[in-house]
Amino acid sequence: MTESDQQPWGRVDETGTVFVRTADGERAVGEYPDGTAEEALAYFERKYADLAGAVGLLEQRVRRGAPAADVAKAVAALQESVTDARAVGDLDALRRRLDALSGTTQELSEQQQAEAKAQLAEAIAERTAIAEAAEALAAQDPAKTQWKQTSAELDALFAKWQQHQQNGPRLPKNEANELWKRFRTARSTIESHRKAFFAQLDSAHREVRARKQQLIERAEALAPRGADAVGDYRALLDDWKAAGRAGKKVDDALWAKFKAAGDVLFHAKAEIDARDDAEYRENLEQKLELITEAEQLLSEKDPKRARPALNAIQLRWDEIGRVPRDQVRVIEDRLRKVETHVRQLEDERWQREDPEKKARSEGMLGQLQDAIAKLESELRDAEAAGDAKAIAAAREALEARQAWLKAVGG
């Protein structure tokens, strides 16, 4: 092997020693005695390529915004490696690139410090907002708080706090402790309010349960009286509605018992009503026939003929008796229409004639008075006998006759 100027950055002498050329002069980087000059240079050029590759990778990291501290450490290490590099290549160029990176590191450090400061301020603001949101929940009136919603919101705030603590920048110890103290205090206040609210609610629920249990017992005690106790049960139902709430599950169970007690009474009443309706069905047929007869008076123009006919119909109406409950209003409305017509005829006649010379029909008044006297006697007999059905029928008929008497001025 002979000394040669094999390439601009290095050479190999006749002993196989390899030299690198730099701005500071020439220095030996190693020996390669068993190969050609080209092989020796190629070996040390590969060493240079490795160094150049490391510098290139560092430049890429800087462009991607790598932490300035990490970059500075890498630059220092590479500068030391290049200074004593056992490699052949443009080491001066590598030093210049590393010097440039060193200057860039300073700029990067300042930029990252500013960014870190901004991120820290933002993190403090975010964690402060979480604490303030928790404090706002703690400031709510416990009596008006929707606890399910509030608990969910508090859980979400705590999860957000943990996530921020794990993924956000590290806060200064004093500020971090102060913010956590605020959040923890708010959370403790909410929990204290919640426990107190539900303790009070449980107490109120126990009182309501006790009242409703008493109402159930009173309702169940009505069962032997059957349909006669329906009115008393309805009064208990009013008390039930005023008693308040005992908690949904308990309320549903209590209501099922209370309703079952009422169903016994209403079932008994329904059976009686069904029997009565069957009994009164024949009365309905008779009254329908009577109404058909009465409605013929709607075409009558003379009150002197209409009134006696209507009075006779009304007396027969009372004698027939009661009809099924669902038909009472239907047939009563039809009869009222005839009565209104006859009364209008009389009003028109009264307007035409001198009220001072003509009195109301004494015959009609007499008939109504006789009917009332008869019904009063029947009512007394029914009351003496204790016949509830007869009492109810007599009272209904008596009230109707008295209303008619009042209508005609008796």
Query: What's the pLDDT tens digit per position in 266-316?
Result: 888 887 777 767 778 888 888 899 999 989 988 988 888 989 998 998 899
Does 337 have pLDDT greater than 70?
A: yes
Give the per-residue pLDDT at 49: 94
How much is the pLDDT for 359? 44
Find residue 177's DSSP bridge partners: none
Q: H-type helices in 139-247, by residue range? A: 147-167, 173-220, 230-242
Mean pLDDT confidence for 318-345 = 88
Q: How confident is the model over 204-225, as pLDDT tens digits? A: 778 888 888 888 889 888 888 8
Beta bridge partner(s), residue 10: 7, 20
pLDDT above 60 for 95: yes
Q: Which residue has the tokens 């630059």?
A: 75
Do 37 and 18 form a contact (C-beta atoms < 8 A)?
no
Rg (CA), the chain: 55
Residue type, 175: E
Per-residue pLDDT, averaged over 52-59, amounts to: 90
Q: Give the residue with greater pLDDT, 357 vs 21.
A: 21
pLDDT at 118: 73
Binning pLDDT at 50, 70 and 90, where does residue 110 land?
low
Q: What is the pLDDT of residue 1?
A: 43
The pLDDT of residue 88:
93
Across all residues in the chain, what is the average pLDDT? 82
pLDDT band (50, 70, 90) for residue 186: confident
Nearest of 207, 273, 282 to residue 245 by alpha carbon: 207
**247 phi-psi bin (left φ>0, alpha ψ -120 to 50, beta other):** left
**Model confidence, pTM:** 0.36
d(CA 209, CA 68): 70
Confidence (pLDDT) at 215: 86
Please tell me the predicted confidence (pLDDT) of residue 122: 79
pLDDT at 46 over 90: yes
The predicted structure's pLDDT at residue 358: 47
Angstrom CA distances, 245 to 213, 218, 262, stand at: 13, 19, 20
pLDDT digits (tens, 9 = 90+) for 357-410: 444 455 667 777 778 888 888 888 888 888 888 888 888 888 888 887 776 655
CA-CA distance, 54 to 79, in Å (whole number)? 11
Which pLDDT does position 323 carry in this prediction?
83
pLDDT of 356: 44
Confidence of residue 107 (pLDDT cuts 50, 70, 90): low
Q: Per-residue pLDDT for 48 more than 90?
A: yes
Please give the pLDDT value at position 15.
84
3-state class percentages of the chain: helix first, strand second, coil last, to nearest 5: 80, 5, 15
